[in-house]
Amino acid sequence: MATVTPPATPAAQAMPQASAPAAEVQTIDGFQLVIDALKINGIETIYGLPGIPITDLTRRLQASGLRMLSFRHEQNAGYAASIAGFLTQKPGICLTVSAPGFLNGLNALAHATTNCFPMILISGSSEREIVDLQQGDYEEMDQLAVAKPVCKAAFRVLHAEDIGVGIARAIRAAVSGRPGGVYLDLPAKLFAQSVEAAAGKASLIEVVDPAPAQLPGADAMKRAVELLKSAKKPLILLGKGAAYAQCDADIKALVEKTGIPYLPMSMAKGLLPDTHEQCASAARSFVLPEADVVLLIGARLNWLLAHGKGKTWGGKSSKAWGGQKFIQVDISPQEADSNVRIDAPLVGDIASVVSLLLKDVNAGWTKPPKEWTDAVAAKKNGNIAKMAETLAKDPSPMNFHSSLNVVRDIIKANPDAMLVNEGANALDFTRSIVDMYKPRKRIDVGTWGIMGIGMGYCVAAAVETKQQVIAIEGDSAFGFSGMEVETICRYNLPVCIVVMNNNGVYKGTDKDPTGRDPAPTVFVKGARYDKIMEAFGGVGVNATTPAELRKAMEDAIKSRKPTLINAVIDETAGTESGRITSLKPSAAKKTK
């Protein structure tokens, strides 16, 4: 705070005047108002990258006791903020400079919106007068206009006395209803503005009840419960919305008391342990087409669920309805019917809706027919036995199965560890092989199947949960954020990165037919990613066998030192696009 000669404003005149020299009044500047507004709303960590006009803001945030984590690229800071939002239900904050820094952060803002994670991208911006007349300011860009199409809401604050409102609106927009990404534009001039201190403080808003409970009506509940009771082959599908909602005990009780088989989406794995007897993951291709009533909890019928129709769901052709009836629990009233008819929408927040469903179940419930649960169990146990045979093999070179068998054991022994996962084969095999035991432990590429979330997620997972982090990374996937290994070392975070090195995107075997260049999917053969970690003082290990991998992971967990294990994987082992080869456009493929 500084002292200046008071302007002749009504606020200043109303100040109680002390004895002479009375003409001084306390002021507060824009920097401090931003900091105080974040603080009173419980924000503890900022993920960002300094530069004009926010360098001093990063310094003062740190000096004020907030944690200011500085990254090497804004995209990674943004991904960190987005997943912090998912893990905490508080908006993750990413702070960037103007135009280029803002654009680097924008990908993560779009990702947060797409995945329904609460996040606020705060970017400094250049002089409005110059930007709007397009006179060529330093890092000139109409950032608000650019952000709008990819976020849930966007705001700009021009006057210091509006900072409190700006931040309150950003927080509410990010966490209320369907969570998402919010952009907050803070022009350079704002930070240096001063207002009278008491008025400035009074302008800050501590947001009350930012994500209010929302309950469906009694008729909607009745419709849904009757439909579920009528089912002969019911199925529960848990999505990442269910994980986000943090009502883990009620979800577990609902699944167990109804006795209905359930299928977790990727980031809902662990809501109940994957080894739970009702878990139908290993019988996915059986339960989706066979089920007659499906209860969706925080999962959209998007591409990840084949849009709720077609052959995956037992439809006769690629677009045909399989005949299932759907109950959908979602906070967004517009989600229902997005792909197929939803017979019983339950619009509300998952915590409230699940507790209402539990009440109905407790009031009287008949478990699903034994033929159905037995059929699911038989299918599942057969597939698990087949998988166990594959996992028991020890080929040389190591492949995805033999290496992930180690990771599976390590997670089983360390169920509190956070698992970050990206890649194609490295993603798909990890998802199906590595069981999760606790909620919100698995964080991955999400709705877009995006590469690059890896190291940002590692930083946020370590900081927000204080747990050991294990990242299973395709060698291509790792490259998108690899420089943040320095960030992980700088903050000395307990992160163990395993790079599944198969020399390329999907595989390392492609050739340029002309013989001139390496193929587009192929990288330097035999690259030693472990050396990157050593460059910054962390532990690097080259692992060519499951035994070496196991030892290196165990050492990393014991020491909690930043560790990168270059796991050498058979370059022929992967399949094109992992599990989503069918989405590849191909001239030979029929469109209908």
Binding site for Mg ion (CB under 5 A): 474-475, 502
Q: Is 241 in the site for ligand ADP (CB under 6 A)?
A: yes
Q: Is 518 in the site for ligand TPW (CB under 6 A)?
A: no
Pick from 96, 373, 399, 425: which binds ligand TPW (CB under 6 A)?
A: 425
Instruction: Please name the residue ranges forming H helices in 70-98.
Output: 74-88
Angle at 127 between CA 125 and CA 128, to 5 degrees: 95
For residues 541 and 563, the answer to whether their CB atoms sit within 8 Å is: yes
Applying CB under 6 A, the site for ligand ADP has a residue count of: 24
Q: How far is the CB of 94 from ligand ADP (least distance, A)?
A: 20
Pick from 61, 77, 350, 450: which binds ligand TPW (CB under 6 A)?
A: 450
| Burial (Cβ within 10 Å: 0-12, 13-18, ≥19) of residue 248 | middle
Pick from 250, 475, 484, 486: which binds ligand TPW (CB under 6 A)?
A: 475
Q: Is 449 in the site for ligand TPW (CB under 6 A)?
A: yes
Residue nearest to ligand TPW (CB): 474
The answer for 506, left when phi > 0, alpha when psi is -120 to 50, beta otherwise, is: left
For residues 432 and 483, the answer to whether their CB atoms sit within 8 Å is: no
Residue closer to ligand ADP by CB (options 199, 251) is 251
Residue closer to ligand TPW by CB (options 450, 469) is 450
Q: Is 141 in the site for ligand ADP (CB under 6 A)?
A: no
Q: Tokens representing 77?
A: 């800071």
Pick from 287, 404, 424, 565: which binds ligand TPW (CB under 6 A)?
A: 424
What string marks each residue from 549 to 588 as x (binds ligand TPW by CB under 6 A) or -? -------------------------x---x----------
Pick from 152, 269, 300, 441: which binds ligand ADP (CB under 6 A)?
A: 300
The whole-angstrom separation of Cα 328 and Cα 340 is 11
Pick from 85, 101, 187, 239: which binds ligand ADP (CB under 6 A)?
A: 239
Q: How far is the CB of 571 from Mg ion (least distance, A)?
A: 8
Secondary structure letter of residue 307 according to DSSP: G
Residue closer to ligand TPW by CB (options 234, 423) is 423
The interface region with ligand TPW, picked from 321-329, 404-412, 475-483, 536-544 by CB under 6 A, is: 475-483
CA 579 from centroid of its chain's CA atoms: 21
Q: Is 291 in the site for ligand ADP (CB under 6 A)?
A: no
58: number of Cβ within 10 Å: 19
The whole-angstrom separation of Cα 276 and Cα 301 is 24
52: number of Cβ within 10 Å: 14
The whole-angstrom separation of Cα 268 and Cα 112 is 17
Q: For residue 177, what are the CA distances in angstroms to 261, 330, 334?
A: 29, 10, 11
Considering Cα of 193, then 194, then 195, then 201, what sign does the dihedral take? positive
The whole-angstrom separation of Cα 290 and Cα 376 is 10
Q: Which residues bind ligand ADP (CB under 6 A)?
A: 115-116, 178-179, 239-241, 244-245, 265, 267-268, 298-300, 302, 304, 330-332, 335, 349-350, 447
Q: Which residues bind ligand TPW (CB under 6 A)?
A: 423-426, 449-452, 474-477, 500, 502, 505-506, 574, 578
